A and B are shown apart, each in its own frame.
Chain A
Amino acid sequence: MSVQATSSSPSERIATLEMRGIVKRFPGVTALKGVDFDVHAGEIHALLGENGAGKSTLMKILYGLYQQSEGQVLINGAPVHIGSPHESTKRGIGMIHQHFMLVPSLTVAENVALGMPSGRGGVLDLKKISEDISQLSQKYNLRIYPERPVWQLSVGEQQRVEIIRALYRGAALLILDEPTAVLTPQESDDLFIVLKQMAAEGHSIIFISHKLHEVLAISDRITVLRDGARVNTIPAAGATRLTLAEMMVGRPVVLEYELPPPVRGEARLTVQGVSALSERGDMGLKEVSFTLYGGEIVGVAGVSGNGQHELAEVVAGMRPLAGGTIHVGDQPAGGKSPAALRQLGVSYIPEERMIDGVVKNFTVAENFVLKDQSDPPYALGRFFLRPRKIAEACRQIIHDYEVKTPGTDTPIKNLSGGNIQKVVLARELAQQPTLLIAAQPTRGVDIGATEYIHHRLLEERAKGTAILLISEDLDEVMALSDRIIVMYEGRAVGEVLRRDYDVRTIGAMMAGAGRGD
């Protein structure tokens, strides 16, 4: 049944899809305030917006994971009710989730077979499914081996499995939720070629993203959402990154920063042949060496899982050192605890802010003093807390950092990602660090807060702080860093100076294409 659906024309199944006046109310919030959206066969339509703008909610309604409070969905002009993913799949709507919906221990073919009627009776016909997968993979040039277990596949390969599975299920319309977040620039380009081919064959494609240049590169039309409402729908031709960013944020924004030439201070961090184990138990970080000087930002780029995470943690004292030496200033710092490192002037913005950055059930004020709680002026004799002093200091940073919070005693988990990150940043910068390790400082943070955090980092640079910026967002690394160290399979495979920045060469190094210059 499914394979027949695949061979019937997608443009006949969904010629047009329209969402009219969609309203979605959650208890206490209206997430969507009457959004109109439409897509037609052969079109790539990008959905752009900040976190919390309502992109995902809108698409979850379309995919049947949520029910709209008001409004209509029409396919080919006829109103339809989509009550579950089962119904949307039946109508030819497929979705590639941001976190892949694959079962690691199962093979590619088994993942595709899951939930599909198969073979004779209840017995799986994996051979047939493998053949169908091979056909689809040839047709769309999506190289994949049906017999391999998914846990052995790279992230890019897993995404191909997701796309093939959607096609196998007869998807005429494909929703992709931030599909390039985990890909190298080259893999993204490959994906775009596939998507364009699918569109040319009459598929409709909805592409959710917040990366402006990608949206411009791939889509025919762009719809921008802000605060649950549609700002506008415009053709991609003629739009620019700046106009799109302004539509998203609602005010003019700065996307590129002027970096004055670095005033290089003394060596603040010297890493020599450092290795560390990863969570998987293998050597995730292999003999990395570099020196970081005061007054410069060194970016670490790489695809997720190539050792950056281990590097950040080992330097921050959060992960045991398996080999090599680390010096902060001229003090040996390898294997020291985070508290000892703090005495040496090291501050750390952790990657997982809800796990390593804050205690989510603590208040804003408690989180703010988390490292200084037993020091004056917040404590009396290292034992008694002084709540009024704490609240006072916290109110000051709420003001200085423009943190949006109802008060100092609000549990921090009730704040948005951007505001939580501002509290973490405020706490870490209050230490007056000489070395700042910033791991994914703007992940899941809205553009406004991102801009603010970037400015703060640049201010620290101007003050002479040495900053190690670890980020999977290549645009961010390129915008802020004086030089970039590229990591691949746990090794530092190259270093690029600011004047030589080029997405292609850095991307190739991220994909393991050997040492750059």
Chain B
Amino acid sequence: MNIFETIGSIVTASVFASTLRLATPYLFAAIGETFAQRSGLLNLGVDGIMLMGAFTGFYAVYATGSLLLGVLTALVVGGLMGLAIAFISVTLRAKQGISGIGLYLFGLGLSELLFQRLIGTPKSIERFPDIYIPVLSDIEFLGIGQIFFRQNLLVYIAFASVPIAAYVLRRTSYGLKIRAVGQNPAAADAMDVNVARIRYSTQIFGGMMAGLAGASLSVALLGVFQQNLTGGLGFIAVALVYFGRWRPVGVMIGALLFSFVNALQLQVGALGFDVPPEFSTMAPYVITIIALAFAGRQTEKPTALTVPFQRGE
């Protein structure tokens, strides 16, 4: 087998299809975190919110059989946790790095406790079904149909959220306020923008998206819940925001890069190559560190990131 055949057997259309699928939780969490960071809030607890979203969404589906209810539950729980971290960061003006770690540990512990008490042993549920887009899903050329148009609903929503997020940040007055609050809150305040309200709103949105990201794992991607289901995926989502230079499209590119490596890892494992899985697990982190180290001028960087605002300081 020559090298091209080897690559051809590994990088198949199904790898790209699962790349998109695996990118979904990254996208939801990182787009939500992008909004929070653009307004000046760093939430390191994304992973904790994802775990809670993953569990509560899973449990709602397990108990009622309704996928919609599962997603709604994850959104509400995520939003509440976003509200909590907003209260800590904005109103109490706590150190954001530390409180985020606290939120992560809280979510990690509580999701496991609830899982043990309410479910106990791993159970599986009916997942989100794949939706075949008529006509488009039949395109054979380069496997386009299989890659793009035979995905579940949350995958479509995740990718649709990218241009919408970019548009909101760039072209709406709400987006303008978010950017101003993250760069120079004193100036925004002087221009009659309610800094606290904007930051609460982005953090609650970020929480909802993190909750949704968790649900997309448990309810759409895997159909199961187990202890520490995310395995630190939420931390990668935070890094992706830096990687993407606070731009939704950049975040998407990063998410695709990561999930492609994840998908390759699964494929290589499935084909029985003897590569320690740890290598491909490490790859994304190495990429992130390199990308951060070589980051040049970052005009979109929210300079007030992690700095609490108080009028007159």
Contacts and interface: CB of A to CB of B under 8 A. Distances in A.
A101 B176 CA distance: 15
A262 interface: no
Given A97-B190, A101-B184, A101-B187, A106 B312 contact: no
A99 B193 CA distance: 18
Nearest to A110: B176
Contact of A65 (B171, B191, B301, B312): B312
A101 B185 CA distance: 9
A123 B186 CA distance: 23
Interface string A93-136: 00101011111111000110111111100111000000000000
Given A65-B312, A103-B179, A124-B176, A115 B184 contact: no
Contact of A104 (B171, B183, B189, B191): B183
Contacts of A99: 186
A382 B206 CA distance: 56
Nearest to A84: B192
A113 B191 CA distance: 9
A455 interface: no
Interface in B262-313: 299-301, 303, 311-312
Contact of B191 (A84, A101, A117, A119): A101
B163 to A, nearest CB: 15
A371 interface: no
B187 A149 contact: no
A85 B192 CA distance: 7
Nearest to A115: B191
Interface in A310-358: none
Interface in B179-219: 179-180, 183-184, 186-193
A124 B171 contact: yes
Interface in A56-85: 65, 84-85
Interface string A142-178: 0000000101000000000000000000000000000
A113 B312 CA distance: 23
B187 A102 contact: yes
Contacts of B174: 122
Contacts of B301: 105
Contacts of B189: 85
A139 interface: no
Contacts of B173: 113, 116-119, 122-124
A114 B312 contact: no
Contacts of A102: 184, 187
B176 to A, nearest CB: 6
A123 B179 contact: no
Contacts of A434: none
Nearest to B187: A101
A103 B172 contact: no
Contacts of B184: 101-104
A116 to B, nearest CB: 8
B192 A122 contact: no
A498 interface: no
A91 to B, nearest CB: 13
A25 to B, nearest CB: 16
Contact of A89 (B188, B192, B299, B311): B192
Contact of B183 (A89, A97, A106, A117): A106
Interface string A474-504: 0000000000000000000000000000000
B269 to A, nearest CB: 44
A86 interface: yes
Given A122-B172, A124-B171, A124-B173, A115 B188 contact: yes
Consensus secondary structure, chain A interface: loop
Contacts of A97: 190
Contact of A123 (B171, B188, B192): B171
Interface string B115-145: 0000000000000000000000000000000
A122 B183 CA distance: 21
A148 to B, nearest CB: 13
B177 A115 contact: yes
Contacts of A100: 187
Contacts of A89: 192
Contacts of A117: 173
A149 B179 CA distance: 13
A118 B173 CA distance: 7
Contact of B186 (A101, A116, A119, A149): A101
A103 B171 contact: no
A116 B312 CA distance: 22
Nearest to A66: B312
A100 B190 CA distance: 10
Nearest to A113: B176
Contact of A114 (B176, B300, B303): B176
A336 B303 CA distance: 34
A106 B186 contact: no
B176 A105 contact: no
Contacts of B303: 104
B246 to A, nearest CB: 10
B183 A115 contact: no
Contacts of B176: 106, 110, 113-114, 124
A106 B171 CA distance: 12
A179 B159 CA distance: 48
B191 A114 contact: yes
Contacts of A122: 172-174
Interface string B69-89: 000000000000000000000
B164 to A, nearest CB: 13
Given A102-B184, A122-B174, A123-B171, A115 B179 contact: no
B205 to A, nearest CB: 15
Nearest to A88: B192
Contacts of A114: 176-177, 180, 187-188, 191, 193
Nearest to B185: A103
Contact of A103 (B183, B192, B311, B312): B183
Contacts of A124: 171-173, 176
A105 B190 contact: no
Given A101-B186, A123-B172, A124-B173, A106 B192 contact: no
Contacts of A119: 173
A113 B299 CA distance: 19
A114 B195 CA distance: 12
A103 B312 CA distance: 17
Nearest to B188: A114
B45 to A, nearest CB: 27
A124 B188 CA distance: 16
Contacts of A95: 190
B250 to A, nearest CB: 15
Contacts of A103: 179-180, 183-184, 187-188
Contact of B192 (A86, A113, A118, A151): A86
Given A104-B303, A105-B179, 16 more contacts: A65-B311, A65-B312, A85-B192, A86-B192, A100-B187, A101-B184, A101-B187, A104-B184, A105-B183, A105-B299, A106-B176, A110-B176, A114-B177, A114-B193, A115-B177, A116-B173
Identify the 3 closest CB pairs spanning chains A and B, nearest first: A115-B191, A101-B187, A101-B190
23 contacts: A85-B192, A95-B190, A99-B186, A101-B184, A101-B190, A101-B191, A102-B187, A103-B188, A104-B303, A105-B179, A105-B299, A105-B300, A106-B183, A110-B176, A113-B173, A114-B188, A115-B188, A115-B193, A117-B173, A118-B173, A119-B173, A122-B173, A149-B299
Interface of A: 65, 84-86, 89, 95, 97, 99-106, 110-111, 113-119, 122-124, 149, 151
